[in-house]
Amino acid sequence: MSNDLAVAAVTEAFSLLVEGAAKGAVAGVEVKNGPPESPPANTPNRVYVYLYHVAGNPHFRANDLPTRNGGGTVVTRPRIGLDLDYLISFYGEADKLEPERMLGAVVSTIHARPLLSPLVIEKAVELAVGTALAESDLAQQVEGVRVTPIDLDLEEMSKLWSVFFQEPYRLSVAYRVSVVLIEVDETPQAGLPVQVREVRSVPAVAPFITGLSPAAVAYSQAGALLTLHGTSLAADKVVVNLGGVPAAPQSVTNERIVVPVPETLPAGMQVVHVAHMIEWGTPEDPDPRPVMESNRVGFAFQPEIATAPGNIAPPGPLVLTVNPEVQEGQNVRLVLRETADSADDAPPQSFETELIVTTTSHDLSFDMTDAPTGEFWLRIAVDDVVSALEFDESGFIGPKLVVT
């Protein structure tokens, strides 16, 4: 790896390589770093080495991830791999073919020596103006710094030269220098030595849920069996996660899992997924961890009205006791629908009001200021999952609310 002087060190070393080749072809050549521009009359023979594009190397883009743990502590020294694109432009007397001679010498030299060797890099660092590159450690980089030609067609070359304001095109060639690895100067936290090494092998087939039944379960039915259908569901140890609550299944096959619905679930739409576990610890401390997880499938856990007044007069409030506890932040709606149709075939009256729960509780209080009078079927909806009505052979029988 190398520090943040690596890019400047590469430019200096590459210019040194170009300078040696160009001077061997045409005497008195001057090599400059920077964008090409017409040289002064007293130094007509000049070569410009210009770094015009920098990009991340795709092979090293994610090589060091992650560099920090969940607490933000550095666990691996961050580094980035760069590709540097250079344009070499040749200025000289055209009737003496000096640009062509210099280009031929530079191209043949780079083709014969496509690596910027540690010796070339060290020499360039020593010859750099002042001590600007004295701290560069590019020469110690393990990965070789390779130079390869870039084949720019006429259109690409024209676009590149169009950025040089009022500068006519000169004979040019492009090269890519790669890879330049820059490492951030941060000291990672040293990890503790490994005490026990253990290797486990597991099937690399993730479980997949295709459906479940029933699609809705009421709180009063907690403990009822939920059946998951799918593929590759079976494993040595299977845990079904229902709305963040782990549950041990009653029976497991590759195509079906039967699991009881825990009553500790919060009401609302819940997400179900299957996890294949493996025990990484010891018999005394198994430390089970998931190694394969299925897709997520939703089902409704319906709230239940435990107690409610039989009648109320606006503005109320209407106080209900519900199961399970409604969690802080959940949205709750009171849903009333008239029990009997109107005699004149008008649609039955309905009323809804909602509240946002600020404290986890079984008790809910609704403002009934705008409620119409009449007898209504009484329901609540927690996060849009509506409680069920009681019924028998004759139809719905409750719960009811009379608004007077």
Give the burial string for 171-182 (b: 16+ CB within 10 Å, else e): ebbbbbbbbbbb
User: Within a domain: residue 320?
Assistant: yes
Q: 313 and 280 in one domain?
A: no
264 with 364, same domain: the answer is no
Tell me, yes or no, whether 288 and 317 share the same domain: no
Examine residue 296 and state whether it is found in any structural domain, yes or no. Answer: yes
Q: Are residues 164 and 33 in the same domain?
A: yes
Can you say whether the dihedral through the CA atoms of 47, 52, 57, 61 is positive or negative? positive
Per residue of the chain (404 residues), what is the pLDDT tens digit? 688 899 999 999 999 999 999 999 999 899 999 999 988 888 789 999 999 999 999 888 766 666 666 666 666 777 789 999 999 999 999 999 999 999 999 999 999 999 999 999 999 988 886 667 888 989 888 888 999 999 999 999 999 999 998 889 999 999 999 999 988 776 666 667 777 777 767 667 889 999 999 999 898 888 889 999 999 999 888 999 998 889 889 999 999 999 999 888 899 999 999 999 888 777 788 788 888 899 999 989 999 999 989 899 988 799 999 999 999 989 999 999 998 865 566 788 899 998 888 899 999 999 999 999 999 999 999 998 999 898 888 888 889 999 98
CATH number assigned to the domain comprising residue 397: 2.60.40
| Number of domain units in the chain | 3
Angle separating helix axes 6-25 and 118-127, nearest 10 degrees:
90
Same domain, 329 and 375: yes
| Residue 224, domain CATH | 2.60.40.10
List the beta bridge partners of residue 274.
240
- pTM value is 0.49
Residue 198 covered by a domain: no
Q: Which residue among 302, 322, 337 closes a domain? A: 302
Tell me which residue range forms the domain holding 21.
Answer: 6-183
Please check whether residues 377 and 284 belong to one and the same domain.
no
Say whether both 168 and 238 belong to one domain. no
Shared-domain flag, residues 121 and 20: yes
Residue 215 and residue 237 in one domain: yes
Q: Which of 152, 165, 172, 151 is nearest to 47 (CA)?
A: 172
Domain-terminating residue out of 261, 283, 302: 302
